[in-house]
């Protein structure tokens, strides 16, 4: 049926218009769905087996747990890795892995399908919310198609949503389940005289609502969305509200009961393990912002997340492209128009009210989180994004009404124009998103870096290695110690270890790995190609250690890396970079002593002399041996500083003192030597010349330095360096 019929039209014309609408509305809806499907296939699913080319470390934990699920280890909350994760995405990944094997496609497919499904669910929800008059229940199909088509189209073609969909994030399940729950609830409630309540539909809506807690942390705010929207029907509270409560409570009771039943397993888990419920929240609490009071930090976040609508977006390239805002400037214009009209129609128009409550409640998880000065976080607002996109559709519709006065679609031409415009808009936006992602992003160095592509390449190469003799693979990696994405993708028989290439106790770590294997005939070390600038350096230290304690056999060259093979590895003596330690030795008044130091490059220890020439290489390592006194309860850190010939500080690196077990100094065994190794990289813009390398040891909590006994100064000179 048409939206409005001007007075004076004959009943015959009205009947003809209604008949045409009955034919045109389904055709236009099908056309829009086809356009939406084409866009999500282009942006979410096209070349998904190879784009992106890797798995982000944190998200890779889902894959590792999916492998454990396939081995029979089932949980309602996976607390061990990556600050704890909800299980829905993990079980979906397990199913995909069962069907496709551990692969990039199996890992990325479930979240991508969830994101694609969310677009269609938002379209359906928009049709339900705006496809009929809120007061009379009369159909208003063209309003519904416009709002739903524009909103879902903007969502389908969003470059930010494309990044999130392809990134393997479990958060993609949140907008899908939330949109389905709201759509089922709206459709089944029977809020008009023409539609009776559907008890099965309400039960399904409740099941989806309960399932939300299994998706992503911000879903914990969804109950407040349902509660506030329900309470909004009781304002002002009086006899009408009391009558409504009496009439509607059975439906609300069924919805809440089913939601509680579905959510019961994870709620029970959190009751028994409250630390797991709060752990991630404590990690990103606003109280961690040391620069602002709590209210100031919150208000700063409010500004950041309001600017995301048309001004500035998330700069994190795992979540977004080039810091683009969630909405383009023209989309933001209609969004704010939609917000304004929704506020104007707050009391009498429940669909408008729902979108505002949805937007406000689901923005709160992001606004209450500490972003560490990195700007807005697109992942944390994913639950609010569908409401924002539908508000764009509302803005388009309401703007058109204001400009035209009244919209009357009484003929096929006008209806076809609406359908054609919305469909063309969706396709045009989709083409722009496709060009941005595949032409401007794919293939750039940042594209490979953001996806940890080199780790996936290493897993692929090592999976292809023959397993004819007992071997151990070492993958030095500057960005992390261990990598969940590698653990998911690597399926070889030989043990493989991703180790931090410049970790404090690298020699002891490698020695421990090799000693833990009963038989090792060869050690194969990954050496990244020099063009992979985003990885940083450091693998040469692992290679140097193997050259020192083993026999080099040869290398294999691959696209991203080389694999060096060593044999006859000696494990009969402790592994170190240095032959001996030299001065200075320093006894501090804080109960800690420096027993000696050594400097070197690669497998070469630089001879102790008045001045050490680093040569053209601007990297070196420094080994130190420490000892603590009994009863020490201080956590110490050290500061390594370069000073120029005039005494001015030009470079500084601060490090918490840790032993090989990653224990801080207050937990070290007293009077037992502890060795540390640090890799220093002098900035490339530092001018050639002579520099002093100085050491300061200080209390990590109070920042108060400890001083040398008898000298009573905090600084000790470790070496004089000549930088070329």
The pLDDT score that the predictor gives to residue 220 is 97
Measured in residues, the chain has a length of 724
Q: How many CB atoms lie within 10 A of CB 367?
A: 22
358-367, 549-558, 691-700: which is most confident: 358-367
Confidence grade of residue 326 (pLDDT, cut at 50, 70, 90): very high
Considering only residues 269 and 413, tell me which one the structure prediction assigns the higher pLDDT. 269
- Predicted confidence (pLDDT) at residue 1 exceeds the cutoff of 50: no
Confidence grade of residue 7 (pLDDT, cut at 50, 70, 90): very low
The pLDDT score that the predictor gives to residue 194 is 58
The DSSP code for 700 is: T
Which helix (H) or strand (E) covers residue 178, if one does? Answer: helix 173-189
Considering only residues 709 and 657, tell me which one the structure prediction assigns the higher pLDDT. 657
What average pLDDT does the segment 543-558 reach?
90
The pLDDT score that the predictor gives to residue 195 is 65
The pLDDT score that the predictor gives to residue 413 is 59
How are beta strands 604-605 and 592-601 bridged, if at all? antiparallel
What average pLDDT does the segment 418-434 reach?
86
Q: How many CB atoms lie within 10 A of CB 127?
A: 23
Q: Is 610 exposed, middle or buried (0-12, 13-18, 19+ CB in 10 A)?
A: exposed
The pLDDT score that the predictor gives to residue 564 is 94
The pLDDT score that the predictor gives to residue 412 is 53
- Predicted confidence (pLDDT) at residue 501 exceeds the cutoff of 90: no
The pLDDT score that the predictor gives to residue 20 is 60
- Predicted confidence (pLDDT) at residue 534 exceeds the cutoff of 90: no
Confidence grade of residue 2 (pLDDT, cut at 50, 70, 90): very low
The DSSP code for 339 is: H
Is the peptide bond between 351 and the residue preceding it cis, with omega within 30 degrees of 0?
no
Which helix (H) or strand (E) covers residue 475, if one does? Answer: strand 471-477
The pLDDT score that the predictor gives to residue 422 is 82
| pTM reported for the whole predicted model | 0.87
Residue indicated by tokens 């530092």:
686
Confidence grade of residue 18 (pLDDT, cut at 50, 70, 90): low
The pLDDT score that the predictor gives to residue 10 is 45
Considering only residues 472 and 24, tell me which one the structure prediction assigns the higher pLDDT. 472
Is the peptide bond between 236 and the residue preceding it cis, with omega within 30 degrees of 0?
yes
The pLDDT score that the predictor gives to residue 611 is 74
* Sheet of strand 471-477, all strands in order from the earlier edge strand to the far edge: 496-500, 471-477, 522-528, 561-567, 551-557
Residue 545 · residue 603 · CB < 8 Å: yes
The DSSP code for 406 is: S
Structure tokens at 207: 């099941």
CA distance 429 to 553: 55
Residue 86 · residue 215 · CB < 8 Å: yes
**Average pLDDT over all residues of the chain:** 89
- Predicted confidence (pLDDT) at residue 683 exceeds the cutoff of 90: no
CA distance 116 to 105: 15
Please write the tens of the pLDDT for every residue from 281-319.
999 999 888 788 999 999 999 999 999 999 999 999 999
The pLDDT score that the predictor gives to residue 437 is 97
How are beta strands 715-723 and 612-613 bridged, if at all? parallel
Confidence grade of residue 414 (pLDDT, cut at 50, 70, 90): low
For residue 383, give every residue at least 6 positions away whose Cβ sits within 8 Å of its Cβ, in sequence order, or none.
Answer: 174, 175, 178, 216, 218, 219, 221, 222, 362, 365
CA distance 561 to 527: 6
Q: How many CB atoms lie within 10 A of CB 249?
A: 11
Residue 2 · residue 19 · CB < 8 Å: no
User: Could you tell me which of 225, 222, 182, 232 has the C-alpha nearest to residue 202?
Assistant: 182
What average pLDDT does the segment 153-162 reach?
96
Is the peptide bond between 54 and the residue preceding it cis, with omega within 30 degrees of 0?
no
Please write the tens of the pLDDT for every residue from 72-88.
999 999 998 888 999 99
- Across 166-175, 251-260, 396-405, least confident range: 396-405
Confidence grade of residue 116 (pLDDT, cut at 50, 70, 90): very high
Considering only residues 34 and 572, tell me which one the structure prediction assigns the higher pLDDT. 34
Q: Bridge-partner residues for 93, per DSSP? A: none
User: Could you tell me which of 455, 452, 375 has the C-alpha nearest to residue 167?
Assistant: 452
What average pLDDT does the segment 181-204 reach?
86
- Across 48-57, 58-67, 539-548, least confident range: 539-548
- Predicted confidence (pLDDT) at residue 646 exceeds the cutoff of 50: yes
In whole angstroms, how far apart are CA 473 and each of 108, 459, 490, 495, 587? 26, 10, 11, 6, 41
- Predicted confidence (pLDDT) at residue 467 exceeds the cutoff of 60: yes
In whole angstroms, how far apart are CA 22 and each of 12, 18, 264, 414? 16, 6, 44, 14
In whole angstroms, how far apart are CA 88 and each of 78, 179, 188? 10, 16, 25
Confidence grade of residue 4 (pLDDT, cut at 50, 70, 90): very low
What average pLDDT does the segment 320-343 reach?
95
CA distance 29 to 19: 16
DSSP 553-611: EEEEE-SSEEEEEEES---SS---S-S--BS--EEBTTSEEEEEEEEEETTEEPPP-SS
Coil/strand/helix, residue 261? helix
- Predicted confidence (pLDDT) at residue 385 exceeds the cutoff of 60: yes
CA angle 430, 432, 434 (to 5 degrees): 70
- Across 15-19, 87-91, 197-201, 609-613, least confident range: 15-19
Confidence grade of residue 19 (pLDDT, cut at 50, 70, 90): low
Coil/strand/helix, residue 440? helix
* Percent of the chain surpassing pLDDT 70: 93
Q: Bridge-partner residues for 129, per DSSP? A: none
The pLDDT score that the predictor gives to residue 591 is 93
- Predicted confidence (pLDDT) at residue 260 exceeds the cutoff of 50: yes
């Amino acid at each position: 049926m048409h939206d409005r019929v001007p007075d004076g039209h004959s009943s015959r014309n009205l009947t003809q218009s209604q008949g045409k609408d009955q034919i045109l509305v389904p055709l236009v809806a099908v056309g829009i769905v086809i356009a939406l499907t084409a866009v999500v296939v282009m942006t979410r699913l096209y070349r998904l087996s190879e784009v992106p080319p890797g798995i982000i470390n944190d998200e890779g934990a889902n894959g590792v747990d999916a492998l454990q699920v396939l081995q029979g280890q089932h949980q309602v909350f996976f607390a061990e890795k990556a600050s704890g994760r909800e299980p829905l995405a993990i079980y979906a990944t397990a199913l995909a892995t069962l069907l496709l094997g551990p692969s990039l496609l199996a890992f990325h497919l479930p979240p991508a399908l969830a994101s694609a499904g969310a677009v269609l669910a938002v379209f359906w929800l928009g049709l339900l919310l705006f496809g009929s008059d809120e007061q009379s229940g009369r159909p208003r199909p063209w309003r519904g198609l416009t709002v739903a088509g524009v909103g879902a189209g903007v969502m389908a073609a969003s470059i930010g949503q494309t990044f999130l969909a392809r990134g393997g994030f479990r958060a993609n399940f949140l907008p899908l389940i939330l949109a389905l729950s709201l759509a089922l609830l709206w459709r089944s409630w029977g809020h008009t005289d023409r539609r009776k309540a559907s008890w099965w539909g309400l039960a399904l809506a409740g099941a989806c609502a309960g399932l939300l807690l299994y998706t992503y942390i911000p879903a914990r705010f969804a109950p407040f969305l349902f509660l506030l929207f329900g309470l909004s029907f009781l304002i002002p509270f009086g006899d009408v509200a009391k009558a409504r409560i009496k009439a509607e409570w059975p439906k609300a009771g069924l919805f809440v009961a089913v939601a509680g039943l579905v959510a019961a397993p994870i709620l029970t888990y959190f009751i028994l393990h409250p630390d797991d419920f709060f752990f991630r929240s404590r990690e990103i609490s606003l109280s961690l912002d040391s620069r602002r009071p709590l209210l100031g930090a919150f208000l700063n976040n409010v500004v950041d997340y309001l600017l995301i609508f048309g001004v500035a977006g998330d700069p994190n390239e795992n979540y977004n492209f080039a810091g683009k805002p969630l909405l383009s400037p023209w989309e933001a214009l209609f969004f704010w128009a939609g917000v304004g009209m929704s506020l104007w129609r707050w009391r009498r128009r429940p669909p408008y009210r729902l979108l505002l409550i949805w937007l406000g409640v689901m923005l709160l998880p992001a606004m209450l989180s500490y972003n560490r000065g990195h700007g807005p976080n697109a992942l944390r607002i994913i639950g609010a994004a569908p409401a924002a996109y539908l508000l764009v559709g509302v803005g388009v519709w309401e703007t058109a009404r204001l400009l035209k006065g009244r919209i009357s679609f009484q003929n096929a031409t006008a209806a076809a124009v609406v359908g054609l415009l919305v469909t063309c808009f969706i396709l045009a936006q989709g083409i722009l998103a496709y060009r941005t992602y595949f032409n401007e992003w794919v293939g750039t160095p940042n594209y490979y870096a953001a996806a940890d592509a080199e780790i996936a390449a290493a897993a692929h190469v090592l999976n292809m290695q023959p397993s004819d003799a007992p071997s151990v693979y070492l993958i030095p990696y500057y960005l992390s110690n261990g990598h969940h994405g590698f653990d998911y993708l690597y399926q070889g028989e030989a043990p493989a270890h991703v180790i931090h290439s410049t970790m404090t106790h690298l020699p002891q770590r490698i020695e421990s790995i090799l000693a833990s294997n009963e038989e090792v005939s060869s050690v194969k070390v990954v050496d990244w190609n020099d063009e992979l600038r985003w990885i940083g350096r450091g693998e040469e230290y692992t290679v140097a250690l193997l050259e020192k304690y083993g026999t080099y056999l040869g290398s294999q060259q691959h696209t991203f890396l080389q694999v060096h093979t060593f044999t006859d590895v000696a494990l009969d003596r402790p592994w170190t970079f240095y032959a001996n330690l030299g001065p200075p030795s320093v006894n501090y008044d804080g109960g800690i002593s420096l027993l000696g130091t050594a400097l070197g490059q690669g497998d070469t220890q630089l001879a102790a002399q008045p001045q050490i020439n680093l040569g053209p290489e601007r990297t070196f390592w420094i080994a130190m041996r420490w000892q603590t006194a009994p009863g020490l309860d201080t956590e110490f850190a050290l500061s390594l500083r370069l000073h120029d010939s005039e005494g001015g500080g030009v470079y500084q690196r601060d490090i918490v003192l840790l032993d090989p077990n990653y224990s801080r100094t207050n937990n070290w065994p007293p009077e037992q030597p502890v060795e540390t190794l640090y890799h220093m990289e002098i900035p490339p813009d530092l001018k050639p010349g002579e520099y002093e390398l100085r050491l300061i040891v200080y209390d990590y909590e109070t920042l108060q330095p400890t001083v040398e006994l008898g000298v009573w100064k905090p600084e000790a000179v470790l070496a004089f360096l000549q930088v070329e």
